[in-house]
Copies of this chain bind each other. A is one copy, B any other.
């Protein structure tokens, strides 16, 4: 079968690899129906892969082809969402809905034991705990939004939840990438009254406004902080959705959150530390981390099915597997917001 392999910085290709196959009785194999490229894949693209032959991709919808002898709930033929981590479904953390901390879990396509989803098929460990069977047949129009539940929409939602977005609340979303845009959707869905998008790409900002952003701040750094304060009576916002993961993004987030407010972090942390005394004296809460998207599907799926949220709109280009190297290039150069793959 064909799969996406990262060789070195800026060098990703498609090659033939051994077919995905059951290895453990709790495994399934899925045929990938849709996959995509994540902003976090670009860290590997820019900084280099985790190993010299990294299988890429951690977001997918698939059809179950085969299941191991111990798989109980997942059946061949089902259309399933594959969250970006696998999880046993039975440990303490899975029981609490924090599958990203599963004691037997791991992430797809980051150089660990599990291969990547930018491929024709994929072995899924702990199929019952990992896969979410969908109550629908493949539906062309719905597929992008369903796919977003495997990572990007659940991640934006996690930012909103951990930033404690409340009805009537004031929110800022740091970053106008696909996660930030899904953060806008999530904040609007949870009833925020003021949603400030911080970014500077015209098309993305326009989409953020369609999703519910009420204000736009294009400035960065100290100027951006000052502008958000201006827009909030000098106080700052109650909830900040940090959707980038750089040191500057976290500084901005802490600069714009008001006393008693919360920062929900979902940008993969590429900074070493958080300020101690400033956050203490202002009673700022810092929360977030890798999103337990498996737990959020239940909440978000009805709104996707009903079309009341349309996170699939973050995909602005569709390619086949052969187009994946160009897809990485386009996202790296910001010519594309998020690339959808039909293997």
Contact = CB atoms under 8 A, between A and B. Distances in A.
Interface stretch (A61-69, A121-129, A268-276, A334-342): A268-276
Contact of A269 (B235, B260, B281): B281
A288 B277 contact: no
Contacts of A274: 273-276, 279, 286
A287 interface: yes
Interface string A276-290: 110111111111111
Contacts of A92: 235
A162 B279 CA distance: 13
A95 B279 CA distance: 21
A325 to B, nearest CB: 29
Interface residues of A, number: 35
Interface stretch (A25-33, A96-104, A145-153, A296-304): A96-104
Contacts of A100: 259, 283
A265 interface: yes
A315 interface: no
Interface in A11-53: none
Interface in A241-275: 250, 259-260, 262, 265, 268-269, 271-275
A340 B277 CA distance: 29
B280 A269 contact: yes
Contacts of A288: 280, 283
A93 interface: yes
A98 B262 CA distance: 14
B98 A283 contact: yes
A173 to B, nearest CB: 18
Most chain B CB within 10 A, of A268, A271, A279, A284, is at A279
A141 B92 CA distance: 45
14 contacts: A98-B259, A101-B260, A265-B280, A272-B273, A272-B276, A272-B277, A273-B276, A274-B274, A274-B275, A279-B286, A279-B289, A283-B288, A283-B289, A284-B289
